[in-house]
Structure formats: C-alpha cells, structure tokens
Amino acid sequence: MVLILPYIEQGNAFKTFFPNGLNGAPVADGAGDGIVIQTYLCPSDPRDTSGGSWSPGQAGGYGLTSYVGVAGVDVYSTGAQQGIINNNYRSTRMAQIIDGTSNTTIVAERPFSTDLYWGWWDYPSCCDTLWGARNTTTMFGCPAPYGSPYNYGAGPNNTSIDCHFNYLWGPHTAGGNFLFADGSVHNLAYGATSPTVVAQIATFAGGETVQLGF
C-alpha cells in the first residue's frame, strides 16, 4: 500500500517513507504512522477512523485500512493455492494467471479489528494488509463460525465483534466487494456466495471452475 501511493494522488505521503524516491534509502520504520488515507477506508464502515490509531484520535497511532491483498487460500499459501499478492516474495505475471483474470481476485474487503490493533495500512505484517480467503489462522479464541477460517455470508457483520476479523467481508447489506485481476470490481452477495467460491477465486492457478453469477 505504500508503493502505490503515488498512483492514487498521495505523492506527499509516499515521500514520508521514501523522501528521495524509491531508489533512495527509506526512512526508519514508523515514519508514516498515523497518516489516514481515505482511499484505503470503506465509507460504509460505521466506525470513526478520522484519527486512525489503536483508539480513534490517539496521537502517533496508525492509519487504518478496510482492504487486504488476497494471498490465496491461506496467508502463507504455496503452489496452486497461492494468490496473486502473496507472502512469499514472488511476483505474478499475467500469463501465470491460468484461472483467468476475471475469475481471480487480487484485493478484497476485510475491515480492521474492533480494537484497531489489526488493519494498519503501512505496517508490514501479514495480517494487517494480507489475508487468505479460507485462512487457517484463527484469532481471538473465537467460537464457530467466527473462529472458523471458512466463513462468508454472515453479514453485514457486526463491527463491534473482533471475531469478524477472521475472514473476508465488507460492511454492506448486499455483500463484500472484490477487486479482480482484470481491473473489475464486483460485490459478492451474502447468502448467494459460498466460502468455497471465495476460496476458488483467491487462487490464480488452482484449476477450479468458478460460477460467480454477477
């Protein structure tokens, strides 16, 4: 999310991290903490994000994001279960997306956690800006189904429950928004879209036959 700042008219924010350009030395970690980028926030989220941070308005906190790169089936997926944006320091060429760019998601909604500890857009943690569609990571000791890594379609979900952080979704009545590799954005309806379909579109070379039904 730092690297694409110049392409979303946030050049000044980018210079906070790379004052001498991308080829120059980056500043120390934490230099951009607290910068709120409205493009990285879902306007339908009911929470006050004006101050970013662990608690809204706290000085020196972190800017938040409502979106994550889709790492595949799991945040540490490998092989055919990998997503286009992954945690394995590997680039993905267009020709490698054999499942089809219109059938492969690259970014999805996943609102930040209730305590605002997860979901900082400038933090290089897997779980802040990268997530798997059927992630095996279970957080907060949540009960089923919200502690399960195989959930979709319970929403619009309650942003006051941290357990909803475990899977992809958006704070909309109709469903969650997904950015696909062909540049299109689609809303996948709750109730009409199964967790299996969400997992299938998370991989770029899984060989699945996907029925999205937009």
176 touches 191 (CB < 8 A) = no
Cβ neighbours, 10 Å, residue 69: 21
The residues facing 22 across adjacent strands are: none
Does 51 score more than 60 pLDDT? no
Give the range among 45-49, 89-93, 129-133, 202-206 with minimum mean pLDDT: 45-49
Does 196 score more than 70 pLDDT? yes
Contacts of 40 (CB under 8 A, 6+ apart): 1, 63, 64, 65, 66, 67, 121
pLDDT tens digits along 61-88: 678 899 999 999 988 888 999 999 988 7
**Per-residue confidence band for 91, with pLDDT thresholds at 50, 70 and 90:** confident
* Spacing of C-alpha 49 from chain mean position: 17
Sign of the CA dihedral with 55 first, then 61, 66, and 69 last = negative
Give domain limits for the chain: 67-214
Distance between first and last Cα of the chain: 28
- The pTM for the full model equals 0.88
Does 60 score more than 60 pLDDT? no
